[in-house]
Chains A and B, each alone.
Chain A
């Protein structure tokens, strides 16, 4: 157990809908990262927050957004869902904002039907 929690574990929804994924970082970690892992594919970096501020953006679609709250938990919002958005979504946390080890949560499996 890495100490990073994610909810929900599984999510099934229809195309066009909007969902929110939640992540709580390890105690003391200020950075949260979001990743998308499609079936049999690698990890795509989406976005990073550090102490409430957006720090880096990767391959995040405009339909996706995220935020980090004062208590450091983060939410990833996915809207106008498409079949291709079906994937595992991981969040990871780290102590600092750069160049340090990240600890992954268990992931949320999103299925869009």
Chain B
């Protein structure tokens, strides 16, 4: 089955700096890669996603890059703000004849220091 590794497990950055979270996946059939932000005690919220036919996607301060050959994808947050502090999860999803399986990474706890 799919295996998704996520690094680092914790990340502290100064406000205004950039943060990068990396994930690798094992199943070459995976073709949809969402990122979720989960604040303490709250639900995961989709913040950005990318499909395998795209190499990069950007939404304001957030960007995701995908390298299918190397089977890794990354989340980039620029100009970090204290409200970016949360746990971020990557996920890899494959579609096999209408059957979708989603595998999540183990999460990165991001702390933005004011």
A104→B45 contact, CB < 8 A: yes
**CB < 8 Å A-B pair total:** 62
Interface size class of A (residues with CB under 8 A): 20 to 34
B99→A55 contact, CB < 8 A: yes
At the interface, yes or no: B100 with Cβ under 8 Å from chain A? yes
CB contacts (< 8 Å) of B51 on chain A: these are 99
Interface bits B38-64 vs A (CB < 8 Å: 1, else 0): 000011111001010000000000000
At the interface, yes or no: B106 with Cβ under 8 Å from chain A? yes
Which 4 pairs, one residue from A and one from B, show the smallest C-beta to C-beta distance? A98-B95, A104-B43, A98-B100, A99-B32
Kindly identify, within residues 69 to 94 of chain A, every residue whose CB is under 8 Å from any CB belonging to chain B.
Answer: 90, 92
At the interface, yes or no: B89 with Cβ under 8 Å from chain A? yes
Interface size class of B (residues with CB under 8 A): 20 to 34
A42→B107 contact, CB < 8 A: yes
At the interface, yes or no: A17 with Cβ under 8 Å from chain B? no
Interface bits B99-114 vs A (CB < 8 Å: 1, else 0): 1111111110000000
Q: How many angstroms from the CA of A50 to the CA of B104 in the assembled complex?
A: 20
| B104 nearest CB neighbor, chain A only | A43
A60 → chain B closest CB, angstroms: 12
Given known A42-B89, A42-B107, A43-B89, contact A103–B46 (CB-CB < 8 A): yes
